[in-house]
């Protein structure tokens, strides 16, 4: 009898162990399926976000090209006599002749620059009005050389910062006065910003690697489309989810 009891007990123990391992195997299979589902869902999410970025990037490029082409088409006959240029990648219309722009060391606009702006700005607004839904901001940007009288470097940087900011505000105030009350004027007030960069973006001669003081003193109108903002928001969401 004792031998039979031991045999049955041994057989029962083996059955319990088998059932135990089968239960763990089912649990592991369930966990693997759950992790696989999470991985597939995450990969799908990333792919959707990448497709969104691609779509926005294509739209951004097409919008950039369209705005650039329209600006060049509108001002092609005027750029050389204004000593101005349109930059394709940044959508900047830059006025390069410092002697025409302002009185030396002053935010006061020269009469010649006022005449240029009177011709340029209403037409500029007319071109950009076609892209209002795609534009985040238009910046009037002021730049100076790195000199301020006998001062150089950081000692000259902050006086030039104040000057560049004052000059862009003068430009914005003047171009606003060129527009009559209405939707264009309200749009300019809400969408244009005046920014002074001092000498932080000075022009360096490619041959001598020395600063070109005259070319550094400039004013440009720069278009910033909202596609850039949308792309940054998507990238930040992806970074946040990955973190």
Name the one residue in this structure whose structure tokens are 């057989």. 11
Backbone angles phi, psi at 195, to 5 degrees: -130, 130
pLDDT for res 7: 47
Q: What is the CATH number of domain 66-232?
A: 3.30.1330.60
From CA 201, how far away is CA 172, in angstroms rounded? 20
In angstroms, the Cα distances linking 57 to 48, 130, 210, 225 are 14, 20, 36, 11
Q: What is the average per-residue pLDDT within 24-29?
A: 68
Residues 6+ apart with CB under 8 A from 124: 71, 74, 93, 221
In angstroms, the Cα distances linking 28 to 21, 23, 35, 48 are 10, 9, 10, 30
Alpha helices in 76-110 (DSSP H): 79-82, 98-101
Q: What is the average per-residue pLDDT within 11-33?
A: 61
pLDDT band with cut points at 50, 70 and 90 for residue 18 = low
Looking at mean pLDDT, say which of 26-40, 46-60, 114-128, 207-221 comes out highest: 114-128
In the chain, where the domains are located: 2-54, 66-232
Pairing of strands 92-95, 84-87: antiparallel
pLDDT tens sequence across 34-81: 777 777 766 766 666 666 666 656 656 788 899 999 999 999 999 999
Pairing of strands 218-225, 92-95: antiparallel
Give Cα 32 distance to the centre of its chain.
42
pLDDT for res 61: 74
Q: Is the pLDDT of residue 159 over 70?
A: yes
Residues 6+ apart with CB under 8 A from 19: none
pTM of the complete model = 0.71
pLDDT tens sequence across 93-112: 999 999 999 988 899 999 99
């Amino acid at each position: 009898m004792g031998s039979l009891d031991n045999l049955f007990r041994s057989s029962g123990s083996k059955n319990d162990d088998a059932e135990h391992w089968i239960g763990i195997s089912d649990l592991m299979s369930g966990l693997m399926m759950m992790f696989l589902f999470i991985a597939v869902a995450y990969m799908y999410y990333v792919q959707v976000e990448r497709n969104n970025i691609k779509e926005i990037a294509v739209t951004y490029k097409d919008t950039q090209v369209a705005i650039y082409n329209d600006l060049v088409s509108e001002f092609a006959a005027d750029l050389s006599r204004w000593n101005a240029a349109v930059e394709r990648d940044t959508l900047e219309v830059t006025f390069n002749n410092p002697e025409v722009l302002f009185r030396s060391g002053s935010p006061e606009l020269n009469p010649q620059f006022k005449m240029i702006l009177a011709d340029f700005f209403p037409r500029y607004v007319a071109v950009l009005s076609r892209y209002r839904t795609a534009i985040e901001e238009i910046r009037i940007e002021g730049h100076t050389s790195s000199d301020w009288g006998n001062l150089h470097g950081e000692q000259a940087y902050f006086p030039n910062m104040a000057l560049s900011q004052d000059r862009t505000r003068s430009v914005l105030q003047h171009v606003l006065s060129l527009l009559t009350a209405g939707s264009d004027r309200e749009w300019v007030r809400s969408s244009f910003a005046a920014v002074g960069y001092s000498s932080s973006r000075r022009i360096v001669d490619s041959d001598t690697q020395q600063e070109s003081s005259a070319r550094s003193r400039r004013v440009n109108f720069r278009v910033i489309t909202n596609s850039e903002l949308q792309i940054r928001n998507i990238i930040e969401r992806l970074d946040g989810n990955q973190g």
